[in-house]
Amino acid sequence: MDAKVPIIAALVVHQVLRRYETYTFSFYPLALLAPPLLILFLPFHNGYGPAPTLGAFLQCLALYLATLAASIAAYRLSPFHPLARYPGPFLGKLSGFWMAYVSTGGRQQHYLKALHDRYGDVLRIGPNTVVIRKSSTANTLIGGAGLPKGPQQLGRFLSDRNLAMIALQDTELHIQRRRAWNRGLSPAALKGYEDQIAKRAGQLVSKIEEHKGEKEVLLDHWFGYFTYDFMSDMAFGGGTGDMLSGKGDTSFWTGLERSARNATFFGHVPWFGVLLGRIPFLMSGSKDFLGKCKDSAARRLQRGSVTRDLFHYLNHEDVQDSKHPRPPFQQLVSDGILAMVAGSDTVASTLTSLFACLFAHPEVYEKLQEEVDKYYPPGEALHTKHHRDMHYLTGVINETMRIFPAVPNCTQRQVPKTGDGITVDGVYLPPGTAFWMNAYSMQTDAHNFSPSPSAFLPERWLPPSDARALCHGPGYVHNEAAFMPFSIGPMNCVGKALALQEMRTVMCGILQRVRLRPVEGWQLADYDRGFKDYFVTVRGELPAVVEVRAGRA
């Protein structure tokens, strides 16, 4: 065998791999094994060479694979790579598996912020992936006319088929699918959910009250029960009672955390996630979690519509015409899973972070308590009519989401593979580049929020005329273009208004009736260590002591 033949074959295959991305399972074994087999067997078949042996095949395969790996590595690290101008970790430039590995620790938001502080606003964290901290680019890249979704969610869902709305890379299809969500989360629809939110929030406060006089209560557990029950009401027509029983669906939360960790890993190497997802006996934990949601969707369809919940709109039960045929079952499953995961975990995490920040800043707790007492005296119903007037509550929620965003990175986008790429404010992204807008880094950057970008200061968000607002003097920076806990543009978080309504109702309900205090020796650093970034965040524990306020029982 001429050693130059497998070397040339490897260089040619590398060029094919650079230009052709596929999730076809058979493609990669063919790309790795077929060339060495052809090199040995074609000459023999045509009578020009000796019969191939196993040793000859292994020798040819080793040379071919070594050359292919060297060629790929050399190109990715070379100054000829289209992203060579952007700094980043050496191993990240070589392979997406580096960030996949980093993500398993749940601290990638801090890792990326440290890289941004060291290298600048644009980082290269994968062979063809960057992360951006420059808020001036956001509107063009992910705003009204922003770029389509990237492949991250394919890896997270372990599939490129039957995708939830959040994973659709076809912008037109995404917009089409989103219409049902828009109807289900419109102001009119939200008004219809108000009583259900108040009911579940009332149950939550009553259950927390039952722990008065006890050593501690884990608030993070109860917020999880609340969001799980409420989103079960919304996504699958109810049927759960975690709060009333005081026993959470541990299989849901355990499955969610395990699948979130796996999903984050495969989100950095989506091709690998999709391939493994097609092997039946692998990734059983994540598939079990998805199967649980599938069973809930099937029961909801069989039961039919009882109330105008979110599922009512996702199943087009609100429109009866030929333009809105009932969606296929798998689409409802995918969107139901999205509603449960996005609606349960993000709101529970933010509510937990809210009280963690209040515990660490008792002066803020007191100011917020004063505002709640002003608008919701004893016996006042938990309605929403005062929410828009409660500026300090809005400031506390915004400041919490700034420091502890439930989704530290916005959803991944990708420059189309055909065309000339895109340039925005000095940032050039070549065709095919996948990227994230790094919300956590932008929101804690001194160029966007000063003074003290890492400090918890709800006054940042108060109207300038408010007497408690920060002095708008030299050094004061408040760049709301860099604040994107729900992302921005037409593909932002469709449940933003619902999430804010839930959080405001729960906060007002709790502060109206009880006083919560941290346990002895608790520190905000304890909570931060348990706050994990798996695209959506996994919250840490938050133990608290419950006191019923005088005259509020």
CATH number of domain containing 484: 1.10.630.10
Name 534's bridge partners.
536
The answer to whether residue 539 sits within a structural domain is yes
The answer to whether residue 267 sits within a structural domain is yes
pLDDT tens, position by position, 323-351: 778 888 888 878 877 887 788 888 999 99
Name 122's bridge partners.
132
Among 28-32, 61-65, 394-398, which is the least confidently predicted range?
28-32
Which residue range(s) make up the domain with 503? 165-548
The answer to whether residue 510 sits within a structural domain is yes
In the predicted structure, residue 553 carries a pLDDT above the cut 80: no
Q: Do residue 227 and residue 375 come from a single domain?
A: yes
Identify the domain boundary among 52, 77, 102.
77
In the predicted structure, residue 360 carries a pLDDT above the cut 90: yes
| Sequence-ordered list of residues with C-beta below 8 angstroms from that of 360, at least 6 positions apart, any chain | 456, 518, 523, 524
Q: Do residue 363 and residue 469 come from a single domain?
A: yes
The answer to whether residue 108 sits within a structural domain is no
Q: Do residue 383 and residue 525 come from a single domain?
A: yes
Q: Do residue 243 and residue 356 come from a single domain?
A: yes
Spatial contact of 227 and 344, defined as CB atoms under 8 Å apart: yes
Please count the structural domains in the chain. 2
3-state secondary structure of 477: strand
Q: Do residue 343 and residue 484 come from a single domain?
A: yes
Alpha carbon distance 183, 510 (integer Å) = 30
Q: Which pLDDT score, from 0 to 100, does residue 287 have?
A: 60
Residue 450, sorted as left (phi over 0), alpha (psi -120 to 50) or beta, turns out to be: beta
Spatial contact of 439 and 134, defined as CB atoms under 8 Å apart: no
**Residue 552 burial by CB count (10 A; 0-12/13-18/19+): exposed, middle or buried?**
middle
Share of the chain above pLDDT 90, in %: 53
Q: Is the pTM of this model over 0.75?
A: yes
Identify the domain boundary among 60, 77, 94.
77
Which amino acid is it at 186? S
Tokens of 174: 């995404």
Alpha carbon distance 462, 449 (integer Å) = 14
Identify the domain boundary among 61, 77, 93.
77
Closest CA to 149 of 172, 176, 179: 172
The answer to whether residue 159 sits within a structural domain is no
Tokens of 301: 């369809």
Q: Do residue 178 and residue 70 come from a single domain?
A: no
The answer to whether residue 89 sits within a structural domain is no
The continuous run of DSSP H or E covering 546 comes out as strand 543-548
The continuous run of DSSP H or E covering 100 comes out as helix 97-103
Q: Do residue 68 and residue 183 come from a single domain?
A: no
Tokens of 363: 């002066």
Q: Which residue has the tokens 């109702």?
A: 505
The answer to whether residue 132 sits within a structural domain is no
The answer to whether residue 94 sits within a structural domain is no
Q: Which pLDDT score, from 0 to 100, does residue 84 have?
A: 97
Q: Is 493 annotated as a binding residue?
A: yes
Among 42-46, 58-62, 68-72, 219-223, which is the least confidently predicted range?
42-46
Tokens of 149: 């979704």
Q: Do residue 169 and residue 61 come from a single domain?
A: no
Spatial contact of 141 and 437, defined as CB atoms under 8 Å apart: yes
10 Å Cβ neighbour count for 213?
A: 9
pLDDT tens, position by position, 399-429: 999 999 999 988 899 999 988 899 999 999 9
